[in-house]
Amino acid sequence: MKPLTCRRCGSTFDHPRPGTPGRPPVLCSDECRQANRRDYTTGRQSARRLRGECIDCKDATVQPALPGTNFCPEHTGRRAAAADRAADARHRRYGLTSDELAGLYAAQEGRCAICKRTEHEVGGRRFAIDHNHACCAGDSACGSCVRGLLCHGCNTGIGFLGDDPERLQAAARYVSRSS
């Protein structure tokens, strides 16, 4: 059996259990496995931040564009442009400016309007902007029909029930009766 090469340190090693089925190992030792696990559990971005690399281009030779960030000047501009495009799309679709969205988030104290969990408690996924679908035709909303911010689970739940208050109340009665 030919020797294997460690993906982490580059050294060659023999298969620890020759003849066993499955994919051969790619790391040579416990030290390499622990170092590899540490890099992935702390996040590759955190490891790059410690090394001073740009998160997008992985270049450690350029200084960050802004203190405390890990993006070179080229990628900082791209990130800002992407945020601007997202804000423009949100304004077109829901009629909300970034300030209005921040006000809505603050009014709900950073919690889902239904279950009262934070974005962190629901897995870090951003809240959805909930609006009355009966108010405006099409995919866009007028802005006055925005009801609040919901976590993915709550937004999906009321969406599957067709935003129908009677069906939602019937579901609540059903769940209360069953518990």
47-84: pLDDT as tens digits: 555 455 665 666 655 555 444 556 666 666 666 677 77
CB 115 within 8 A of CB 149: no
Phi and psi (nearest 5°) for 130? -90, 135
Q: Could you state, in order of their start, the residue ranges of all structural domains in the chain?
A: 22-94, 97-178
Domain 97-178 annotated CATH 3.40.1800.10: yes
- Secondary structure of 137-153 in HEC code, one letter for each residue: CCCCCCCCCEEEEECHH
C-alpha–C-alpha distance, residues 149 and 111, integer Å: 8
| pTM across the whole model | 0.54
Question: CB count, 10 Å around CB of 129?
Answer: 19
The set of residues, in sequence order, having a beta carbon less than 8 Å from that of 79 and lying 6+ positions away, is 71
pLDDT average, residue stretch 3-27: 77
Residue 138 identity: G
